[in-house]
Amino acid sequence: MEHFDASLSTYFKALLGPRDTRVKGWFLLDNYIPTFVCSVIYLLIVWLGPKYMKNKQPFSCRGILVVYNLGLTLLSLYMFCELVTGVWQGSYNFFCQGTRNAGESDMKIIHVLWWYYFSKLIEFMDTFFFILRKNNHQITVLHVYHHATMFNIWWFVMNWVPCGHCSVCADNHSDQLWGHLAMFVPSWLVVFPDRIHDFPDCSLHELLHDLQQEGSLSEERPPEGPPERVCDCRKRTHQQLFFPGKQCEAKEATEGLKWQSR
């Protein structure tokens, strides 16, 4: 393994030039093998995970999703603030900025960019949660390509150009901050469904009718069918929202088919 790593280092040096010595000895940056192995394991899980979960009940992962999204939201906020202040303090030039022109500000940027690189490893969990929850339709080619390549790309960035204009590239990741925040809020509502239960327990067509009376919506046609059927639909919708792993009972499914055939 050491011989293989030495060969890779020689090849990278011949192709890209000498590495930046400021990141020498940093976690995961000395050699490429750990980054490559983690990426291969990620792709294997993406391939084998859905097959393993095919005949199993999906996991809700509600509690861990809240912690995960909150953690990444805070990390993204920290990186965003540190990058903005580092670029401001170092008086970065947005047209042509070298990698060794800002002194201490460059080192501040390098430390933040290492966290940005490491966050790409943490974000592998996005796909793992999709697999555990059996949301396989969200595991697209673009999704897998993005996660598998970003971790590798930023290993090379951190070893050869760990500051300068690369800070501008990472600073444009505010969509990641808002994305995790957008996922955190619904997951909080799912973990604490009792708060939602405080709303009036009325059917959907009653709620739409009340809004129409206030002038907020145009007249809506109430759903057809017996009242007990509407109640069953509400119960199943509630179960699918807050308990995605719970399957419909055979009796309910049979009744639904009979009602639709009328």
Q: Could you list the active site residues?
A: 146
- For residues 57 and 133, what is the distance between their CA atoms, to the nearest angstrom? 8
- For residues 190 and 159, what is the distance between their CA atoms, to the nearest angstrom? 41
- For residues 250 and 262, what is the distance between their CA atoms, to the nearest angstrom? 19
Whether the CA torsion 177, 151, 164, 113 is positive or negative: it is positive
Two tokens at 192? 């604490």
Do 187 and 66 form a contact (C-beta atoms < 8 A)? yes
Helix axes 33-53, 2-16, angle to 10 degrees: 110
